[in-house]
Amino acid sequence: MLTTDKTRIDVSLKGEVKKETPISFIDLKAQQRRIRPQVEARLAAVMDHGQYIHGPEIAELEKALADFTGAKDVVLCGNGTEALEFAMMGEGIGPGDAVFIPAFTYAATASAVIMAGARPVFVDVDAATFNMDPLDLEIKVKTVVGEGRLRAAMVIPVDLFGLPANYPAINDIAARYGLKILADGAQSFGGRQDGKWVGNIAPMTAISFFPAKTLGCYGDGGAIFSQSKERAEIWRSIRWHGTDPSHKISIRAGTNGRMDTMQAAVVLVKLSIFEDELEKRRHIAGLYDALLKEAIDLPERCAGASSGWSLYSIVLDDRDRIRQFLTDENIPSTIYYQQPLHQMEAFSAFSPQGGLPVSEDLSRRILSLPMHPYLTDDQIHQVCETLIAAL
């Protein structure tokens, strides 16, 4: 369950909240003001040594991320989508394989499966957590196995909005049907389950360093976390055109998927303040919960798991009207996601018969409120006061 220090939270809504404007949905400028001298020093060091590709910061960040999460190894790459693709390439996922993914998530997960040559099989999500529903996963796996046209090969749970998926249940299903597990942790770095950080919960975890993530760079970047050093060496080969450690002889098919040294330098600085920022996100989420719990039904806070709080999302019956009210009062909000994947033109050929009712319902009702470590308590009060006035 989410825990907060109640002594730090003033949950009264007295109509006397000082309005601080503007409120940013995500505020990267505030973070940059905090760390700019350190970032500039790191970037200057890269310019001094001149190793803009595969400089020493790459290995330094890979080790730092492995040490932080407890993963056996970490491999940096160009972006989060490549992280998914490299992991599938390393497992030989391709034509004839079925890869089970949630329908309520960003398009990158489905696109990566298709780019690997496999077929995405869309699974509905749990209305309480927004993550992949293990019950529907088993139904979809049984259907694929029963039809016999595809090999049930892999499941890619997505840790939506920061909360790790139900890996204990998914692990059980994967073991019974011989599925490999690749976690899509693009939104959940900083989350935990049963005492383990995201990156060390599943055998393989792909994350993104897109600037708006909980741990982001100043461009594109990604990483794959592994509980096996052997897997990690395959990914290192794939990211450098499939070459051997000398980077001269190709030993497998690969691509150019390296992360730039400068982006690694930026992430190293951000990692140094990450736990402090994560604590601030937890405080903000706790304040939201305390202020809103009497007004709306909050999403489930799962026992044994804690969110990385990349987003704070709620479900509203009259979402569009309420969002317009917030906009008129200069309160930013965003909809993730306006359409589930199986209803998008690019993926409609893979839409399951009968649809996916929970994903479809959430797309009509979900709303994300401002979430970043530099929101003040007064700003959270302002957001909640305005939201409650709109109900």
Which pair of structure tokens corresponds to residue 389?
Answer: 């006035």
List the chain pLDDT tens, one digit each, 391 residues: 333 333 344 555 544 545 556 999 999 999 999 999 999 999 999 999 999 999 999 999 999 999 999 999 999 999 999 999 999 999 999 999 999 999 999 999 999 999 999 999 999 999 999 999 999 999 999 999 999 999 999 999 999 999 999 999 999 999 999 999 999 999 999 999 999 999 999 999 999 999 999 999 999 999 999 999 999 999 999 999 999 999 999 999 999 999 999 999 999 999 999 999 999 999 999 999 999 999 999 988 888 999 999 999 999 999 999 999 999 999 999 999 999 999 999 999 999 999 999 999 999 999 999 999 999 999 999 999 999 999 9
CATH 3.40.640.10 maps onto the chain at 34-271
Inter-CA distances, 211 with 52, 60, 86, 224, Å: 20, 20, 21, 17
User: Which are the contacts of 328, defined by CB distance < 8 A and separation ≥ 6?
Assistant: none
Strand-pair partners of 73? 226
The 8-class DSSP code of residue 300 comes to P
Do 225 and 200 touch, CB atoms closer than 8 A? yes
Strand-pair partners of 224? 75, 206
> What dotted CATH number matches 34-271?
3.40.640.10
Q: What is the pLDDT of residue 49?
A: 98
CATH 3.90.1150.10 maps onto the chain at 6-29+273-390
Q: What is the pLDDT of residue 20?
A: 55
SS3 category, 16: coil
Q: What is the pLDDT of residue 169?
A: 97
Q: What is the pLDDT of residue 185?
A: 98
**Phi, psi (rounded to 5 degrees) for 298:** -80, 150
Question: Over the stretch 45-76, which tens digit does the pLDDT of each residue have?
Answer: 999 999 999 999 999 999 999 999 999 999 99
Q: Is the pTM of this model over 0.75?
A: yes
Is CATH 1.10.760.10 correct for 6-29+273-390?
no
Q: How many CA atoms lie within 13 A of 100 on its CB side?
A: 33
The 8-class DSSP code of residue 346 comes to G
Q: What is the pLDDT of residue 1?
A: 33
**Nearest 10 degrees: CA dihedral of 283, 285, 291, 297?**
-150
